[in-house]
Chain A
Amino acid sequence: MRFYMVDRILEVQKDVSIKGLKNVSIVEDFFSGQSSEDEPELPMPLLIEALAQLGAWFVAATSDFEKRAVLLSLGELRFHRPARPGDQLLLEDWVVSASDDNAVVSGRIRVGDEIIMEMDECMCAIIPTGNLEDPAQMRLTYEWLTGGAAR
């Protein structure tokens, strides 16, 4: 399994915001039948992961893949309803503050016009990409996440 909670990056506005997509499907490993829910639903905290990973893509894309973000703290999260197989999640993060060492973003997740989750002030440390993964590989992944053609 790839623990990638962003399927597509739709829009990046440097220093401002990023939008992306996450498709929720019953084929995903999270729906392995062990849940005590009656209907399959994505575990709520994975919605946070989707917004946090989108934030990491934002940092990478706007630093030529030299930097990326790791999670430090979360302010407040409000969950309005779970995401279910078939939902297409529109992920949005916007920058609240940023320095060389850390960044704070807020975000939300919509399905169509319905807001299903809101996140206030997710703080990330900004660290060299190479500490965690290969920047060149990250750049390639970014290219296909943004719809770039295979070459």
Chain B
Amino acid sequence: MRYLLIDRVLELEPGQFIRAVRNVTLTEDVLATHFPNFPILPGVIITDTLTQAASWAYAAQTDFAVGTRLYTLREAKFRRYVRPGDQLIIEARHLRDEEGGCTVWQAKALVNSRPVASIKELWLAPRSLSPEAADRQRRNFRYCGGLVPALV
């Protein structure tokens, strides 16, 4: 299983906002057992996708030299089943910065303009990456990006 969670970046304002696409297909490994009689994308994988999107939007303002680690999550809601054939539109928006250094984001996933999952607060702890890890992150972003911002 690949563990890259975003297919394409549609829109990016570094440090502020990101909109991205995540296609859901029946060939995905997790759908074999989740669930045998009714494949649905696990809510937690959606959570991870939202986290990844916010993390990239944050990292983009540092040319991906800084990464983030999920520190706290508040109030996630999973409203609808996400099924093979659905196209998730992922949006993450910066809310504020916390004193301890965390950057706080809200995020949601939509299918056909209807929200399927939302997270009120994602607290991400920034961490500097080694040059190799930063390169990897930059490459991952480009690979999924489609959109290459001027600063990359």
Q: Which residues in A have some Cβ–Cβ distance to B below 8 Å?
A: 1-4, 29-32, 34-38, 43-46, 48-49, 52, 71-79, 82, 130-134, 137
Contact = CB atoms under 8 A, between A and B. Distances in A.
B130 A3 contact: no
B72 A78 contact: yes
Contacts of B69: 44, 79, 82
Q: Chain B CB within 10 Å — which of A36, A49, A52 has the most? A: A36
B67 A34 contact: no
B133 A3 contact: no
A79 B132 CA distance: 25
Contacts of A79: 69-72
Interface residues of B, number: 40
Contact of B77 (A36, A44, A73): A73
A78 B102 CA distance: 13
A133 B47 contact: no
Nearest to A75: B75
A130 B34 contact: no
- The 8 A-B pairs of least Cβ separation, nearest first, read A36-B137, A132-B35, A29-B1, A3-B30, A45-B48, A49-B44, A74-B76, A44-B70
Contacts of B47: 45, 48, 74
Contacts of A133: 35-38
A20 to B, nearest CB: 16
Interface of B: 1-4, 29-30, 32-38, 42-45, 47-48, 51, 64, 67, 69-78, 129-130, 132-134, 136-137, 140
A48 B76 CA distance: 12
Given A2-B33, A132-B36, A34 B78 contact: no
Given A44-B51, A45-B45, A46-B44, A134 B74 contact: no
A2 to B, nearest CB: 5
A34 B138 CA distance: 11
Nearest to B31: A3
9 contacts: A32-B2, A36-B133, A45-B44, A45-B51, A45-B70, A48-B73, A76-B75, A77-B72, A132-B37
A76 B74 contact: yes
